[in-house]
Every structure is written in C-alpha cells, then in structure tokens.
Amino acid sequence: MASRSDVATDRISWTGGAAPPDTATGMALTCWAKLSVDRNDFSTFFRLHAASGGTTRLTFATGSSGETPGLFTPGNTSGVIAPSALVVDGWRPMGVSCTGTTGTIYIASADLGTVQSASGTVSGGATATAFTFFGRSSSDATEWFNGCLAYARLWGATMTQDEMIAEWASGTPVKATSLWGAWMVPGQSDLTDVSGNARHLTAGSTALSTEQGPPIDVRRGAFMAFL
C-alpha cells in the first residue's frame, strides 16, 4: 500500500531532534510518487525548511502546471526541472541528489527501463532543521501534493543513478551507509521510520489514507509467492 494525501492538512513532517541532511554537504532522496489529482499548481513532494516553516533550503515539487517535478531553491527559483512529467494515476520512481551548489533530479519509467535526469544549481537559504512530505511545512498549507508517496528514503550523502535504481526496485533500503530515515512502506504506520534510526514523522491535523502501492509491490508479491 501507499500513503495518500487528499487534503492539505494531511502533510507530515519532521520538526524535532536531529537536523536532516543538508544539500551543501550531501543529501539524497528516493521515492515512488503517483499524481492522483492534478491541481494545476505547485505541488510539493518534499521540502527542507526551518522548523518554523518560514525559510526554504530545497523544495522538491511540481512546477505551476502541477505535473512536472523540479528542485526549487532560493538561489534558483526557476528550478532544476525533470525531463518528463507525471500523469494522473501513473506511478513514477523519482530521486534527488545534491552536494555543494549542484542538484540532480531523476525520474524513471514505472518498469525502471528508462531513467532520465537533469542537473543544475541548488543554492541559498539557511541550513534546514526540519522537512515535510506532501506539503511545504506543518505551518504552511499551500502548494500541497494531491497524490500518493511510497518507499521514501533519505540519506546524508549523494547517490548515483545505479544506486537509485536499486532503491526503487527494493522494498527495503539497499544503501545502509548514511541512511537517515525511511518511511511509508506497506505493513507499517505511515509515520514510522523503518531505518532503525527512530526518526518517526509527525502527522498533520488530518490523517493520511492508503491506496494500492506502486508496481514494486506487485513484483515483491510475485517474488514472495514464488518463495
């Protein structure tokens, strides 16, 4: 199953304890995403920000069309734009890898047969102390994502394309080194960090629902049946 946000108040956040990985020193994120309703507006998958939500380090979101993902930062508000877009009810694996002032966005076909990427400048903003999935922050209800996320994983280091493909294909994290947290997996609470680091997320004022997960769930099910 996958976590589904269908209202702005469903967004979930990390706002306490350890600061999340920083774009300047190395961070990476992988996930599966499905656009359920095209809002024709900026729609945020993940945002690194100050605990208050008032300042941005990195926003991983669609552009104003509501369909094409990009990496948006205070120093590059035009964004590093993915080469292809999401479509309603279609699952796509996506990833982000940043270090220094360079960020790369990855997007693949659902069968992992085709991977596209784009690189550009990510800069500006104060070092993040919190982050949010499905929206901008716990205090900001704008630019929320109406859709599903699954197998979201965050590292305090960069990742290669091949490493991302391995993560997209696996129901459990593959790269243990620098793994900061992993969330939204079948059989667990939506907010539970399954990395072993106990970085559990905080719910919004309304709860996420669940829907059928990405194609990886089908492949894993077939594998388990074979065993």
* Residue 135: closest CA among 29, 16, 42, 33: 42
Q: What is the pLDDT of residue 7?
A: 98
Q: What 3-state class would DSSP assign to 32?
A: strand
- pLDDT of the residue at 217: 73
Average pLDDT over residues 95-119: 98
Residues contacting 226, CB < 8 A, separation 6+: none
**pLDDT classification of 218: cutoffs 50, 70, 90:** low
Taken in order 51, 53, 59, 62, the sign of the CA dihedral is: positive
Q: Band of the pLDDT at 159, cuts 50, 70, 90? A: very high
Q: Which pLDDT band, with edges at 50, 70 and 90, does 194 fall under?
A: very high
Strands 56-62 and 102-108: unpaired
List pLDDT tens digits, range 33-55: 999 999 999 999 999 999 999 99
Q: How far is CA 45 from CA 35, 133, 134, 190, in A?
A: 10, 5, 5, 15
% of residues, the chain, pLDDT over 90 = 91
**pLDDT band with cut points at 50, 70 and 90 for residue 223:** very low
Query: 96 pLDDT exceeds 70?
Result: yes
2-226 CATH: 2.60.120.200
The pLDDT mean for the chain works out to 94
Q: Name the residue ranges covered by the structural domains of the chain.
A: 2-226
